């Protein structure tokens, strides 16, 4: 299967996770950086899921799944350990709702990649379901390759790009945007010399005025 990769805005949308085990926890943790309204439907949940409930990040309906639990959901995760229940979730999912089944059976509207997140910088990995173990392995390598400083680096690039677009135009704009990708900025961020990036930007903008 050739899946279409995309990054989805789920802010303030209802996301229903049916099941409260280890896989439910993985899905919750992938959703936590967003502002999705997360509901877990499950008679029991693990300690970590319980903690997210206590902290107010997740609403827990402490019960077995029923069709009405999917009302108004944009995304639906069928992640119970019971194929019959996952089938019932699939049956109840409307055509306009997107369904993910952790058991990779039946209707598959989307699957979840592994995610390395550094602020706005996001790297995702998938084997299209062939080998989740390999996905995890590659993710671990990428997490090492792209350190925490990428968050500040990409945040600087966003800010710098916005300022450049206001000040420059035409070929000069293209030229300055290309200069922004010089590896020195990443190096400065890695060395904690964030102010050097800002100084460069203000000087470069000053040259125009
Ligand atoms: C990326 C990640 C994100 C996440 O789960 O959100 C994810 N699986 C992760 C880990 C992982 N999952 C499994 C193992 C054990 C090793 C192994 O089995 O190989 C490990 C490794 C580990 O945990 O170390 C078992 C497993 N996974 C699926 C099945 C069902 C089946 O294939 O039949 C079974 C067998 C269950 C059983 O034994 O019954 C199915 C799916 N798992 C997917 C995603 C989707 C395809 C991803 C892709 O394209 O590669 C897909 C299709 C559906 C979906 O869930 O979206 C997360 C990365 C963790 C991280 O980020 O560190
Ligand atoms: N995608 C992945 O990464 C991945 C990894 C491992 C397993 N899996 C698949 O996901 C399934 C779940 O794995 P897990 O480790 O989270 O299992 P788990 O046993 O930790 O959790 C299962 C959850 O389902 C809930 N549940 C059972 N009946 C229910 C019902 N009628 N209504 C609502 N909730 C109900 C249980 O209360 C429990 O919280 C596995 O059976 C397997 O098929 C996927």
Give the domain ranges of the chain. Answer: 1-112, 149-208
**What's the CATH fold of domain 1-112?**
Rossmann fold (3.40.50)
Is residue 197 within 6 Å of ligand 2 at its C-beta?
Answer: no
Q: Greater confidence, 206 or 31? A: 31
* Ligand 2 pocket, mutate which of 62, 65, 99, 102 (most atoms under 8 A from CB): 102
Q: What is the pLDDT of residue 208?
A: 73
Q: What pLDDT digit, counting tens, does each position of 151-172 carry?
A: 999 999 999 999 999 999 999 9
Q: What b-and-e string marks burial along 172-205, b requiring 16 or more CB atoms within 10 Å of the CB?
A: eeeebeeebeeeebbebbeeeebeebeebbeebb
Helical (H) or strand (E) element with 100 = strand 98-101
Is residue 92 within 6 Å of ligand 2 at its C-beta?
Answer: no
Average pLDDT (178-194) is 97
Q: What pLDDT digit, counting tens, does each position of 57-73 carry?
A: 999 999 999 999 999 99
> Nearest-CA neighbor of 22 among 42, 45, 54, 41?
45
Is residue 112 within 6 Å of ligand 1 at its C-beta?
Answer: yes
Q: What is the pLDDT of residue 104?
A: 93
Report the complex ipTM.
Answer: 0.95
Q: How far away, in angstroms, is 140 Cα from ligand 1 center? A: 14
Q: How far away, in angstroms, is 36 Cα from ligand 1 center? A: 22
């Amino acid at each position: 299967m050739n899946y279409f990769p995309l990054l989805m805005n789920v802010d303030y949308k209802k996301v229903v996770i049916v099941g409260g085990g280890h896989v439910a926890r993985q899905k919750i943790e992938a959703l936590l950086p967003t502002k999705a309204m997360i509901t877990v439907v499950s008679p029991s949940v693990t300690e970590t899921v319980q903690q997210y409930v206590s902290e107010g990040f997740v609403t827990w309906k402490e019960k077995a799944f029923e069709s009405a639990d999917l009302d108004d959901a944009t995304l639906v995760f069928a992640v119970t350990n019971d194929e019959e229940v996952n089938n019932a979730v699939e049956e109840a999912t409307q055509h306009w709702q997107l369904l993910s089944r952790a058991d990779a059976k039946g209707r598959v509207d989307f699957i979840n990649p592994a995610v390395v997140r550094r602020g706005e910088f996001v790297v995702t990995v998938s084997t299209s379901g062939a080998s989740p173990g390999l996905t995890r392995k590659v993710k671990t390598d990428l997490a090492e390759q792209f350190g925490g400083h990428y968050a500040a680096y990409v945040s600087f690039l966003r800010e710098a790009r916005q300022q450049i677009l206001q000040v420059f135009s035409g070929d000069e704009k293209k030229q300055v945007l290309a200069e922004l990708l010089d590896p020195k900025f990443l190096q400065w961020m890695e060395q904690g010399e964030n102010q050097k990036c800002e100084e460069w930007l203000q000087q470069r903008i000053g040259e125009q005025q």
